Every structure is written in structure tokens, then in C-alpha cells.
Amino acid sequence: MPKKALIIVDMLNDFINKNGALYCGDTARSIIPFIQERLEAFRNHGDLVIYLQDSHDKNDKEFERFPSHCIAGTRGSEIIPELTPKPGDNVIPKKRYSGFYGTDLESILESAGVDEAEVVGVCTSICVMDTVGGLANRDYKITVPVKGVADFDQNFHEFALKRMKQLYGARVS
């Protein structure tokens, strides 16, 4: 039987906590309860849970575009306590926007027999959208629940939702 995966993107201290280096705002905090519900549902059903974790080197070139954030091994790059991984969950450090770039995400999905993914987290117009694009390029069925994603910029958030639906064929619910 095909399996589903919940992919939780960058729900990390530097993005979600008010004192974080790149705080995404109160909207990002507001999606935590919804993600907790989805986590429980996926775990109870025996589906795959994957956390994508921004985990940069100190001198990452990305810091030419964004302030320094989510440095590997720091509190800022840790998953928020409200969404602590459990044994059996996959935590995948990443250095770029897409969860596929330079990671083993593809092999984890393939080896688990996943054919459908639900993607939640931050930022809708950056790491969420780039990961959804990677899923679409690999022909996965994709769901992006509006209650489970947030962004720094509401206009970019709306654009990203529209793009993921129209271009990537994601079910935006």
C-alpha cells in the first residue's frame, strides 16, 4: 500500500521564536497547533514524518542575501520544542532552499514507498515552495494545507500558494 509523508520545513528556533535571527512573525507561530495535529495524525496512521532542518555553515553564501541564521549546531537551527521529533522520525539537515538539494530526501521517500506528501512549515515562498517543486519534478502527489504554512511576506505567501497549485499541481487546501 502506498505510503504518505508529512514533510515539516524549517520549524526552527531562528524562524519561529521571537528572538530568532530570522523571525517569521506571529503568523509562523500560529501554524504550530495545526502542524501538531498533522504530526499526530501521520504518526497514528504509521506514515512517514520528515523534518527538514536549515543547517548552515558559518560562512554560507546565503548570508549575502539573508542575515546569518540556523548555523549548524546552534540553538537557532534546532527544531522548536513544540514539534520535537520522536524515534522513527527523519531529520534531514539542509543547506539550501530545496529539501532535495544535497540531501538524502529522495532516497528516504523512495525506500519508504511514498507516493504522496503533505508539506507544512516556513517560508511558503522559499523553502516550502522549492521543496514542493522538487516533489512535483519527481511526480509525487502533493498537498499544501494553507493552515500549515507561513511566510515573512503575505504577498509572497499568496503568490507561492498560487504557483504551487497552478505550476506544481499541488492540492492547496
Burial status of residue 46 (CB atoms within 10 A of its CB: 0-12, 13-18, 19 or more): exposed
Domain CATH for 32:
3.40.50.850
- Kindly report the pTM of this predicted structure: 0.97
Query: Which segments of the chain have a pLDDT < 70?
Result: 1-2
**DSSP-derived 3-state class of residue 79:** strand
Residue range of the domain that includes 153: 3-172
Q: What is the pLDDT of residue 63?
A: 95
Determine contact, residues 123/139, Cβ cutoff 8 Å. Answer: no
Q: What is the pLDDT of residue 1?
A: 53
- The count of domains in the chain is 1
